[in-house]
Chain A
Amino acid sequence: MTVDRIWRLGFAARFMFAVLRYSGASFRRLPLTLREIYFSGVLSLLIIIVSGLFVGLVLGLQGYETLQRYGSTEALGVLVALSLTRELGPVVAALLFASRAGSSVTAEIGLMKATEQLKAMDMMAVHPIARVVAPRFWGGVISMPLLAALFSAMGVLGGWLIGVVFIGVDDGAFWSQMQSGVDFRYDIWNGVIKSFVFGIAVSLIAVFEGYDSVPTAEGVSRAITRTVVTSALTILALDFVLTSFMFRGTS
């Protein structure tokens, strides 16, 4: 069992290098990658925007409840913006991305394998990793940071909506406190780096699970489950590692 796991890990590593090696075509033939950005990015827009807005609304309400006890409700902007840009934006967006786009990539590649489409492609002298896997990988890697940024932005708007429009926190204080509390390099840029790393991890897991799935209906459904579970665990673990590197000792 353990040997099997380690064996699979080794295969995954080799698979990753193969994806990178055959990535040339994804950039030389941009329509291939654009199509995947459409499927993993554009089609995730709705869920990301709506979830971001709701998370922002909740943060605004909860933050206001807590902050008003200390009489510092004008710090609501900082609270909402920092929690979104540093943590919730990249992490929640990545979790949603894994279950929305990652699972469908796994299903697509798994079914292509089950119906011998990958073998047929190979027989037609077209490398399946170059033609099928790499564009989906890069599509995910490119989409993820954009989706996370969108999630954070929507969240901040949600927090503003609740805090300023509904509850009546001072608009100027909300934004100015936010701007003096949120640093571009430390908070926002680190969030972008996080979402980029998550994008690589989720996309890689999704394409690998699909490519390595047992080519039957049951095998593909298991692979989809594994994509979602493994992605979630990987995102949270990576988040801890990245956070401890980025924010150690400062502020």
Chain B
Amino acid sequence: MVLSDDILVDIQDLHFNYDGRPVLQGINMKIPRGKVVAIMGGSGCGKTTLLRCIGGQLRPTGGMVRLEKHRVCEMSQTELYGLRRKMGMLFQFGALFTDMTVFDNVAFPMREHTDLSEAMIRDLVLMKLEAVGLRGAHALMPGELSGGMARRVALARAVALDPMLVMYDEPFAGLDPIALGVIGQLIRKLNDALGATSIMVTHDVHESLMIVDYIYFVSQGRIVAEGTPDEIRASTDPFVHQFVHAEVEGPVHFDYPAPSVVQEFLSGGARG
């Protein structure tokens, strides 16, 4: 097992309720430094909530999130902001600032948090954009970018301050297969180049299996399976099997929980 010093994010028995409805019910996770970890599960299983708890945007109802030596859920706003300067996050659809150019978007965290000269910022921004292959697009507005390009700009912005932890919320959602492969490779490449740690929330199994070091499967607020990509591919666990092979029947139900059809129609008829 890995040494405790090498654990960057340590999550113990995390609970979260949204309006009284339990979303996370006892998550345990240890994410080692330098690795790319994927958290997978169907839509609405609490993956994004988990990410928000790590970033401190949501306060868990129970349990603990530790990042390095900081207990994230007990920090004040000021302390959290201090910590977040060392984090980067890629939002589901990029969340680029629509009133700024691509250049200004990537420069935004640098201008807000550092006293670097404008010339220095220019060099850094162009370097980051070069890393995602969009140096030539620095003068465009976000509205002029394709989905994949916007995602890459957002990626450049997320790593603008060379964070120690990068979080990805559905980095592959809504991308064509080529853009998807590009983003996947970039995530791996940037993680290794920066010496950062990455947590990726996704439901794209095949792309993830190619680039990550470790995978957690989450269903209904609990971790149901975990392992390295090779272990996952070889797994006989019914949940993992269903997910990896995209089967309709299995432990994960396609229907939203509802009373039985007969019951519903009868009571509907009675109400008129």
Which residues of A come within 8 Å of B, CB atoms? Answer: 108, 111-112, 115-117, 119-127, 131
Contacts and interface: CB of A to CB of B under 8 A. Distances in A.
A116 B98 contact: no
Contacts of A126: 108-109, 112-113
Contacts of A121: 97
Interface of B: 55, 57, 80-82, 84-85, 87, 89, 91-93, 95-99, 108-109, 112-113
Contacts of A112: 97-98
A111 B98 CA distance: 10
A107 B87 CA distance: 30
Contact of B108 (A108, A115, A124): A124
A123 B113 contact: no
29 contacts: A111-B98, A112-B98, A115-B95, A115-B98, A116-B91, A116-B92, A116-B93, A116-B95, A117-B96, A117-B97, A119-B91, A119-B95, A120-B89, A120-B95, A121-B97, A122-B57, A123-B87, A123-B89, A123-B91, A124-B84, A124-B89, A124-B108, A124-B109, A125-B81, A125-B84, A125-B113, A126-B108, A127-B81, A131-B112
> Helix, strand, loop or mixed for chain A's interface?
helix
A123 B97 CA distance: 13
Contacts of A123: 55, 57, 84, 87, 89, 91
Contacts of B57: 119, 122-123
A124 B95 CA distance: 12
A125 B82 contact: yes
Contacts of B55: 123
Closest 6 A-B residue pairs measured CB to CB? A120-B95, A125-B84, A125-B81, A116-B95, A123-B89, A116-B91
Contacts, number: 48
Nearest to A39: B99
Contacts of A127: 81
Nearest to A111: B98
A40 B96 CA distance: 23
A108 B153 CA distance: 21
Contact of A117 (B82, B95, B113): B95
Nearest to B80: A125
Contacts of A119: 57, 91, 95
Contacts of B89: 120, 123-124
Contacts of A124: 84, 89, 108-109, 112
Contacts of A111: 98
Given A115-B93, A116-B93, A125 B98 contact: no
A191 B95 CA distance: 43
B263 to A, nearest CB: 32
B17 to A, nearest CB: 20
A111 B95 CA distance: 11
A163 to B, nearest CB: 45
A135 to B, nearest CB: 12
A111 B97 CA distance: 10
Contacts of A117: 95-98
A120 B109 contact: no
Given A116-B91, A126-B113, 11 more contacts: A111-B98, A112-B97, A115-B93, A116-B93, A116-B95, A117-B95, A117-B96, A123-B91, A124-B89, A125-B82, A125-B84
A178 to B, nearest CB: 44
A61 B113 CA distance: 59
B72 to A, nearest CB: 13
A38 B99 CA distance: 14
A121 B57 CA distance: 11
Nearest to B51: A123
A125 B85 contact: yes
Nearest to A116: B95
B236 to A, nearest CB: 38
